[in-house]
């Protein structure tokens, strides 16, 4: 069976650290409750801080917002947050799994861990979004999404509180979309509806 050249989007993964919550606060209000795909988000947080993040983001978006639970199937119209102190991964059966493996780039949850596993699970039907952040977690994972044929979005460094994370991705490969948070929301909605795909790439693992 050959894969379609422009497969419909099946999932969105988002990562960021310092400054990413501000960016997300601009992005999520633009996403409709009827978004036909799930959104999984890793933000670096202090391990012991109780996470009020679900409540904060839930106020801002019509999407259902919840912490991702182990073996929970990914459902459309839902924004899943990674729990503090656990890695969040996507299995190929399109359910989440958690792990307490070693931190990656001092981070647990790690953006690379989510992105790598989601790229394996979804291949070209995945969209990865990397936001503001002060370390390089996520850049390798976003490249993995790109190499698996998925669509990549990076917050424009000039709009980011911390530029290091977006800059690391931009230095690593040719990102599909580089734009500001107020445009990322509408872009994701469009991508999820099957429009605005990046041009098919000659290189990469799309074949």
Q: Interaction with other proteins in 129-158: which residues (CB under 8 A)?
A: 140, 144
Task: Note if 26 is an active site residue.
Answer: no
Task: Note if 17 is an active site residue.
Answer: yes
- The answer to the question of residue 205 lying near other proteins (CB under 8 A) is yes
- By beta-carbon proximity to other proteins, the closer residue of 20 and 68 is 68
45 Cβ contact list (under 8 Å, min separation 6): 51, 53, 84
Please give the angle made by the CA atoms of 201, 205 and 207, to the nearest 5 degrees.
80
Q: CB of residue 66 vs other proteins: minimum separation in angstroms?
A: 12
Size of the site for other proteins (CB under 8 A): 30
Burial 57-75 (b: 16+ CB within 10 A, else e): bbebbebebebbeeeeebe
Structure tokens at 1: 């069976």
Q: Interaction with other proteins in 69-128: which residues (CB under 8 A)?
A: 69-73, 83, 86-87, 89-93, 95, 97-101, 104, 113, 116-117, 119-121
Q: CB of residue 111 vs other proteins: minimum separation in angstroms?
A: 13
- By beta-carbon proximity to other proteins, the closer residue of 102 and 199 is 102
Task: Tell me which long-range contacts 192-195 makes (C-beta under 8 A, separation of at least 24).
Answer: 192/9, 192/12, 192/35, 192/36, 192/37, 192/127, 193/36, 194/6, 194/8, 194/9
Output the furthest CA–CA distance in the chain (Å, rounded): 48
Q: CB of residue 164 vs other proteins: minimum separation in angstroms?
A: 19
| List 107, 116, 132, 137, catalytic entry | 137
List interacting residues with other proteins (CB under 8 A): 67, 69-73, 83, 86-87, 89-93, 95, 97-101, 104, 113, 116-117, 119-121, 140, 144, 205
- Residues annotated as part of the active site: 17, 44, 137
């Amino acid at each position: 069976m050959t894969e379609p050249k422009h497969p419909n989007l099946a999932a969105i993964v988002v990562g960021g650290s310092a400054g990413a919550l501000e960016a997300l606060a601009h992005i999520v209000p633009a996403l409709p409750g009827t978004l036909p795909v799930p959104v999984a988000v890793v933000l670096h947080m202090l391990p012991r801080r109780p996470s009020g993040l679900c409540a904060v983001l839930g106020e801002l978006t019509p999407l259902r917002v919840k912490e991702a639970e182990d073996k929970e199937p990914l459902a459309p119209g839902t924004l899943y947050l990674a729990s503090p102190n656990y890695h969040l991964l996507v299995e190929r059966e399109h359910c989440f799994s958690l792990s307490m493996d070693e931190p990656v780039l001092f981070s647990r949850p790690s953006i690379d861990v989510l992105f790598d596993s989601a790229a394996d699970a979804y291949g070209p039907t995945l969209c990865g979004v990397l936001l503001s952040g002060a370390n390089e977690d996520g850049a390798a994972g976003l490249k993995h999404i790109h190499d698996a044929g998925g669509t990549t979005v990076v917050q424009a460094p000039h709009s980011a509180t911390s530029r290091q994370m977006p800059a690391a991705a931009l230095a690593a490969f040719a990102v599909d979309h580089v734009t500001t948070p107020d445009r990322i929301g509408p872009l994701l909605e469009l991508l999820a509806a099957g429009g605005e795909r990046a041009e098919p790439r000659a290189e990469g693992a799309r074949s």
